[in-house]
Amino acid sequence: MAAARPNPALLAMACVTLANCGGTAPDPDWSTERDTLPSGTIHVTNVPRADVSPIWTLMEELRVGTVEGAGPDAFAYLKGLVVLEDGRFAVLDSQAQELRVFGPDGVHVATHGGRGEGPGEFADANGLMLDPDGRIWVPDTRNGRMSVFDPEEGFTESFPFADANFNVCWNGALVDGNRIYRPWRSGNRRRLHVYDLAMTRVDSFPLPGDAPDDEEWDPASQPGAFYQEMGGGYMMYGIPFYPAEIRYLDPRGAFWSTRGGDPRYRITRWRPGGDTTLIVETRRPPVAVPVVERDSVIDMMREMVSNMGVGEWDWSRVPTVSPAVEAIFASAEGDLWVRTPSGGEGTLFDVYSRDGEYLGSASPGPGFGPGLHLFDQVAPVVRGDLIWLIVTDELDVSYVVRARIAPAADANLRTPPR
């Protein structure tokens, strides 16, 4: 049985009513400027005042996972998380290739799938999507199909699907309940493929940064990687702390992204087949990469290239400033959440309205503890004043945590984003 651990601190806050709070006003400690560019794109600039603190705290109220045992709550490598309207949630354990469903209380409800090629089985399932009917869609590119499950009854149907583009975790999205968007890349070619619910491709759009058809991909000139020729081939090694492009497809069909190589806090919104409609810029002070951490990484790489018998790389290419945007995702209500460096050991989320206006920031409460780390590859799920996250501890044990978005102690009981 899954371990469900209520947070005692949360119980003391139960008398504060948060659910029927209505809209959330912008944080008065920030100023917002809005301009319309000649192209028609709206440019929103958010500027914080000095020493602004988070106005919301993520108070853990349920944790599912265990260090010991072999039950359904013993997670190995989670690559998917969805939350149903009634509070049930499902995860995809990619090591076991199992879809596991849990109740709102953290009790295991059902397990579906398993390794294989038969109906409802997986070869390399790597993500989850939830449709408006509460069914769970599981992409499995190696088996060449998209499988659909009822949370309790199990497998219902599947559709042939193969695009020869494998990712560690699924990067597509079910949009407006009637189509599936899937970013695709091969060398310099960057496309957004659009499928109907039978997984028939119905459209394709160039993604921002897509190269001309006749431009060849040159591995030696990639700005985010060190390149090294070796014998008859070559090696590429990603540059630590390099600001890679961060992308997010929201359920309403908008594509949000940063620009690769740009460490600034600048996010664009783009509509497939259209132009950029919104630029959100936030002028938080840059967060430096700790000198000790940067030097340690460079020493490790220097030893590696020395053992390879090759010359020194250009260590000045290792950034001294952390990327300002670490992840982007949206709440069920449409607010945009952005994970940004906190400048310390913790995690910080900035929250914006869909039109780019800053609403406030949230940080995990003390119940999370310093040993828990947010898992980067699966986006949290936010619904109302609740958030579900995948976290790992110092032993790399995975947990699903449900937390309540509560007013911070010094924030005058500001209501959570809705």
401, 391 Cβ separation under 8 angstroms: yes
Q: Average pLDDT, whole number, for the chain?
A: 87
91, 75 Cβ separation under 8 angstroms: yes
User: Which pLDDT belongs to residue 347?
Assistant: 87
Quick check: pTM over 0.85?
Answer: yes
Residue 4 pLDDT more than 80?
Answer: no
Q: Is 294 helix (H, G, I), strand (E, B) or coil?
A: helix
* Sheet (strand 201-206) strand order: 173-175, 179-186, 189-195, 201-206
Phi, psi of 175 (to 5 degrees): -110, 130
* Domains of the chain (ranges, CATH numbers): 8-211+251-287+322-407 (2.120.10.30)
CA-nearest of 41, 89, 34, 25 to 387 is 89
Each residue's pLDDT tens digit, 73-91: 999 999 999 999 999 999 9
Each residue's pLDDT tens digit, 146-180: 999 999 999 999 999 987 667 789 999 999 999 99
48, 29 Cβ separation under 8 angstroms: yes
